[in-house]
């Protein structure tokens, strides 16, 4: 079978932004978690609800397709998200991906099903992936994209997120039996810090070379840390529980409270995207269960503060003593309703979870 490798260098875009322009973009962009709250809430509903009743929206194709091999009960631990600035314009992107492994309670994945950026502070879909259009992260804002449009037609290439994060730009593209297709390669001129336009050039490669090119690109795939949707609470004012050793790099100031002195205690970072009133850390003890098997708990306040603020999270030193939770958090939501969540570990992968309790 003839393999074609088409080269082109297209488009002229200035990549080098001034420090002032970057600062302005950062000032105009809301906090990442808060800005993407509606998108995350939608994915949380999609992932935690019965998929047969779900309606596909923009960017949902890959998630819905993945339910063909992911059991609904496992979905909250198998899908995750990351908020990071892969376009390096000081505006964070939201990435929705599949969790491939979890070690020491930290989840990792490389396949991205959807990506969003912020335009005028509002989420905008940048790209989405599915089985025949897979996107794997290879670092520095670039992706290994592979797929097919039939048994004898396969494609792969390297794509880079555009400087504004709104789309993927082709860097290199290989395909089979698609003579005349308007596909190509973009290259960066580091000296000029811009995209340079030239005429496309096409060349044929052997099957061995075709496979070697794809092998080299696939070898660059790297894992990124993903927060499982099992750890996400889709309240308008949400607390996020993460391992402090991984998440503290995002903060310069924080409070700390030690709930017990056990040698097995761990450090959990509790953060929120909006101020939460009347925030408390509770010691809880299971009393009994109702007819439906729901546990009832007695609680004692261990730590209280007027609010938990986005720029000052709380590090909780605590121990997971057994299968039943020993600690919980509570706060007052925007409607004046007290919300209480137990701190638990996933029985599947040991990831942190916040479980609603009464």
**240 & 280 share domain:** yes
Mean pLDDT, 10 residues at a time, the chain of 358 residues: 38 28 32 82 81 68 92 92 94 97 93 96 94 95 88 82 94 68 37 43 70 92 94 69 87 95 96 88 92 84 95 96 94 81 84 84
Please state, in angstroms and as integers, the Cα–Cα distance from residue 242 to each residue in 103, 104, 313, following that order.
Answer: 14, 12, 11
- At 140 the pLDDT is 94
CA–CA distance, 115 with 87 (Å, rounded to integer): 11
Do 48 and 104 fall into the same domain? Answer: yes
* 227 lies in some domain: no
Instruction: Identify the pLDDT of residue 234.
Output: 61
Residues 107 and 170 in one domain: yes
| Chosen domain end from 218, 247, 280 | 218
Cα–Cα nearest to 195, from 7, 4, 2, 15: 15
pLDDT confidence of residue 108: 96
Query: Given this model, what pLDDT does residue 187 score?
Result: 36
- Other Cβ atoms less than 10 A from the Cβ of 288: the count is 8
116 and 256 inside one domain:
no
Distance CA 153, CA 138 (A): 24
- The reply to whether 251 and 167 lie within a common domain is no
Q: Give yes or no for a contact between 237 and 272, defined as CB atoms under 8 angstroms apart.
A: yes
Note whether 191 and 286 are same-domain residues. no
Contact 273, 265 (CB under 8 A): no
Q: What are phi and psi of 133, to 5 degrees?
A: -155, 65
* Pair 220, 138: CB distance under 8 Å: yes
Backbone angles phi, psi at 227, to 5 degrees: -90, 120
Q: Write out the residue range of the structural domain in which residue 23 sits.
A: 3-218
Rounded Cα distance between 258 and 248, Å, is 16
The SS3 call for residue 177 is coil
Shared domain check, 210 and 63: yes
Q: What pLDDT, on the 0 to 100 scale, is given for residue 15?
A: 30
Residue 342 in any domain: the answer is yes
Sheet arrangement for strand 352-356: 295-308, 276-289, 327-332, 338-345, 352-356
Kindly provide the residue ranges of all beta strands, DSSP E only, lying in 234-313, ordered along the sequence. 239-243, 255-258, 266-272, 276-289, 295-308
* Rounded distance between C-alpha atoms, residue 126 and residue 94, angstroms: 10
Residue where one domain finishes, among candidates 190, 218, 246 = 218
Instruction: Tell me how many domains the chain contains.
Output: 2
Last residue of a domain, one of 191, 218, 245: 218
């Amino acid at each position: 079978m003839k393999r074609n490798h088409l080269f082109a260098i297209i488009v002229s875009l200035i990549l080098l932004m001034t420090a002032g322009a970057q600062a302005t973009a950062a000032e105009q962009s809301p906090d990442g978690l808060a800005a993407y709250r509606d998108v995350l809430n939608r994915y949380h509903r999609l992932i935690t609800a019965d998929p047969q009743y779900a309606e596909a929206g923009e960017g949902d194709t890959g998630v819905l397709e993945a339910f063909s091999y992911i059991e609904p009960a496992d979905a909250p631990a198998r899908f995750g998200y990351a908020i990071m600035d892969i376009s390096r314009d000081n505006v964070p992107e939201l990435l929705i991906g599949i969790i491939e492994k979890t070690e020491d309670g930290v989840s990792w994945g490389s396949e991205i099903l959807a990506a969003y950026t912020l335009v005028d502070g509002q989420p905008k879909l940048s790209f989405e992936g599915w089985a025949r259009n897979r996107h794997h992260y290879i670092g520095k804002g670039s992706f290994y994209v592979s797929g097919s449009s039939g048994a004898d037609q396969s494609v792969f290439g390297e794509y880079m997120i555009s400087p504004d994060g709104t789309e993927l730009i082709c860097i290199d593209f290989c395909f089979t039996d698609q003579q005349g297709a308007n596909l190509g390669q973009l290259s960066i001129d580091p000296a000029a810090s811009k995209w340079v336009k030239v005429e496309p050039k096409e060349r044929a490669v052997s099957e061995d070379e075709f496979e070697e090119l794809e092998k080299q690109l696939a070898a660059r795939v790297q894992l990124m840390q993903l927060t499982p949707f099992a750890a996400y609470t889709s309240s308008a004012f949400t607390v996020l529980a993460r391992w402090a050793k991984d998440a503290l790099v995002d903060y310069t100031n924080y409070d700390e409270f030690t709930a017990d002195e056990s040698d097995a205690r761990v450090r959990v970072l509790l953060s929120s995207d909006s101020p939460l009133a009347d925030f408390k850390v509770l010691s809880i003890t299971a009393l009994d269960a109702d007819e439906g098997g729901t546990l009832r708990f007695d609680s004692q306040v261990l730590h209280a503060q007027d609010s938990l603020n986005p720029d000052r999270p709380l590090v909780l030193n605590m121990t997971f003593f057994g299968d039943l939770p020993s600690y919980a958090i509570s706060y007052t939501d925007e409607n004046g309703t007290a919300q209480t969540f137990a701190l638990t570990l996933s029985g599947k992968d040991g990831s942190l979870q916040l479980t609603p309790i009464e």
